[in-house]
Chain A
Amino acid sequence: MAYIDPANDNGVTTEEFVKIALAAVGINEKDAMDYAKSRLITEDYDRVNAEKPIKRRSAARIIHKILEIELNEKDDADWSAAERLKDLYSCHACLNHIAQVYVKGIMAEHSSCLFDLEGIVTQDEAADIAARMSDKAKRKKPERIESISCEITLDKAFRLLQDERVLLVDVRTREEYNEKHIEGAQSAPLEALAKNPHMLGDKNRTVILYCKRGYKSKIAADILKTAGFKKVYTVVMQI
């Protein structure tokens, strides 16, 4: 679905974007699309959609290609910061293009943790992109989000749990969980988490762990942090 910004719906066409992006790196060909095609910067898809508003994922691809082909700019080896984008994995072919333009600070997320692959690029955004392509000093690299892992109070835990996306996880044994557990908590025994640290799924979700005395949940928190979970809390619960 194309995103139309109600405040600023002047999306830039594919052709315009290609011209702007090439100009940003000092290439001012009369027929920008033709040039880009010959350099394998654009795909046939871009030719077909030359006069349509360019999608953000196409823009990411074209920017990345220009960096590679015209500037010989290498990829950033560490693209892990892009994993906070919830829609990063929605296109296997676009992933690296999006990850690179994001971690290099050329295209930002559209809204909270969403790149918005199908959204359009506005004139203002295109101008910003051009500036960042040509001048590395203008690139706004995303802040490295360190993963959080710490103990929190019961009060804070209950406040966080107002958001239904937050996971409450009981790391005691399955038998202990079946006997009694906090309402709404999911069972993930520590032993199971150790074997498969990825079992809780989406790593952008906040996870709150509890056990009997706080010992197991601290070990579990370390396991999840290593597995890439960004916000992991432990809480001492009276069960």
Chain B
Amino acid sequence: MSGQHQSIHEHPQPITDKAYMFPAFFNGKVLGAKKTGRLPAMGWNSWNAFGSGNTEMLTRAMADKIVELGLDKAGYKYIVIDDGCYRSCRVDGRLANNDVKFPSGFKQLSDYIHSKGLKFGMYNDIGIALCSGDKVGLCGHEDVDAQTYAEWGIDFIKVDNCYYPWDNATFSSEANAKYTYAPNIRSITLKGDKTKTYNAVKDGIITGSGASASISGDYVTGIGTTDGTNIDASPNGTLSGELEFNVDVLSDGEYSLIVNYVSGEERGKGCWLQIAVGDMENERRYFDGLLPAADDFTDSDEIQITLKKGINKIRLMNHRRQENTLISYAAIRDALDKAAPDNDIVLSLCEWGKTQPQQWGYKVGDSWRILNDITFTVGSDGSSGSASWASNNTASITSQYNKAVIMNEYAGLGKGWNDPDMLVVGMDGITEIMSRTHMSMWCMINAPLMLGMDLRRVEKGDNIHTIISNTDIIALNQDTLGVQAKRIYCSVEPDNPDTEYITDNRRVDILAKPLSNGDVALCFINTDTEKASGVYGVTVDKIIRYIGSKMINGSSFGNARRYLAKDLWTKETSVTEGREFRTENLGGCDSVTVRITPIFD
């Protein structure tokens, strides 16, 4: 796995190992020593609760409360300190604690948390500085920082991508777009026995998404991978755009390719080109690098490629946004595994969905954020911060849910989990009903469950405690079958409820989750703030049609004479003689979650 490490160079380095290339994203294989079989992480993270105002005192108090409230027994075990904890510069090249907020240092804090039977998590990023600007990013320091983290005894690390040198991520230069996009392409010329020029728009075929012909019709632009940070686009389908040419040659041999292009350093028009021959499954790459900058359309130098007699597919593309990011996170995974081979450190990817990590994140990480933050108005000591049910940006429960709910095929025990960000239970603006539905959603979709509030405000048995410690609901998230729920019904999408990206909240969803003992969990969700009058239901047949292949008893579930349904919030049980499970008149933001057990007598 080592050898692809490239963080200290001026430009991204050549990729020599196919395991890091785009085609490998779809082979389901993890890299190196990455552990699989982990269920979603559960714990508490400081960011929503205290923002950069978190301190050692507050963290210890939270660890105390986790135990006092019995939340450790409910499964919450990782205490994660987020951004704002480090000294702003390295000391002798090493990470150091902020002496005002964490005066005793991280080893002491780690020991304290471990003494409570809990686990300790920290935060950093793949760039050269943290989002706060502190020059303590992991880039170029992976090995020494991993040693430091091992000394501190961390069990978990959340890593984002501020100041990343190879992408125009947060605070990275916008000019880094030169690495993440191909130049605009006007034509290619193939020289062999004959010379032929192929026009990008007329002769080329644009595949995937993100690339398009210019309005003038002269050239193709936007060749790269689409940015997944915002709520505009579906996380499914082909998320990169390529330009391909099918060329017909008379004989096997070496040919010269010249690309006519104009380069830039902006979104959609970059400077880095990859050229491959063949389909993704059996491609041979012939070029993977920066072209000389060109403000006007210019011919590249000749690039030698090998073609076979007949029709060959030549693909112009740029998958470096994903490949570079994978390599950077892999360097961290490698370094941690080397420095602390027995520590079983969980790696939580947090590049906000920018590089569509659902496609590759499983190779190195245990979960991957899918969007920008669920709230930007975090709390502090004395203030709860605030959050929303719905919004026109990423900052709301439904914004995160609407994307995560159709990403179930990316997640699993052999891979990792989609991460729709931390829980906002306990923040202003979130009612008890919203909290219950939020908790149900996160448990059904196998999200990491990270509490984000000041737990000193919680008493055993109060409403919040009841919600976050519901062991029946948590059991869905922690079910050992490890299958994220599928949306099998959506009131505004009859054809493809499981894959269609819907952000219009005026609807009812029904999710189905297969469980390890043969039960199925169903969750009926009203995403609207207005009441949903009417009856909503799914039949046994529909359940089997959508998730039967993932059930341990898919063939027999449908043969039960009756079904026992347990409401996991009211704890009421009922028996269904028929073959449909229904609910009606769901209140605004409300939900019903039932566990269905087939009865075979």
Contact = CB atoms under 8 A, between A and B. Distances in A.
Do A and B make up one complex?
A: yes
Contact of B132 (A43, A47, A184, A198): A43
B377 A75 contact: yes
B470 to A, nearest CB: 30
Nearest to A65: B53
Contacts of B173: 1
Interface stretch (B86-94, B108-116, B195-203, B315-323): B86-94
Interface SS, B side: loop
A89 B393 CA distance: 10
B232 A200 contact: yes
A45 B503 contact: no
A227 B392 contact: yes
Interface string A67-94: 0100000010101000100000111111
A201 B170 contact: no
Interface in A45-77: 45, 47-49, 55, 58, 68, 75, 77
A198 B394 CA distance: 11
A1 B53 CA distance: 27
Contact of B53 (A40, A55, A75): A40
Contact of A198 (B51, B98, B134, B503): B503
A197 B504 contact: yes
Contact of A203 (B51, B162, B234, B392): B392
The interface size bin for chain A is 35 or more
B80 to A, nearest CB: 16
A183 interface: yes
B135 to A, nearest CB: 8
A108 interface: no
B253 to A, nearest CB: 39
A227 B393 CA distance: 9
Contact of A68 (B132, B380, B492): B380
Interface residues of B, number: 46
A48 B215 contact: no
A47 B503 contact: no
Interface string A205-221: 00000000000000000
A40 B85 CA distance: 12
B52 A194 contact: no
Given A93-B83, A96-B376, A38 B100 contact: yes
A148 interface: no
Interface string B374-404: 0011101001001000001100000000000
B376 A92 contact: yes
Given A83-B393, A201-B230, A90 B100 contact: no
Interface string B65-104: 0000000000000000001101111000000001011000
Contacts of A118: 171
A127 interface: no
Nearest to A42: B100
A228 interface: yes
Contacts of B501: 195-196
B310 interface: no
B131 A199 contact: no
B409 interface: no
B303 interface: no
Interface string B269-285: 00000000000000000
B220 to A, nearest CB: 15
Contact of A93 (B52, B89, B383): B52
B32 interface: no
Contact of A91 (B88, B131, B502): B131
Interface in B217-248: 217, 229-234
A75 B379 CA distance: 11
Nearest to B227: A201
A155 interface: no
Contacts of A198: 230-232, 392, 503
Given A40-B100, A164-B215, A93 B230 contact: no
A89 B353 CA distance: 14
A44 B83 contact: no
B133 interface: yes
A44 B170 contact: no
B376 A95 contact: yes
B504 A194 contact: yes
A32 interface: no
A138 interface: no
A196 B503 contact: yes
A12 B230 CA distance: 35
B171 A91 contact: yes
B170 A91 contact: yes
Interface of A: 1, 37-38, 40, 43-45, 47-49, 55, 58, 68, 75, 77, 79, 83, 89-96, 99, 117-118, 164, 183-184, 194-201, 203, 227-228
5 contacts: A58-B133, A195-B500, A197-B504, A198-B230, A201-B233
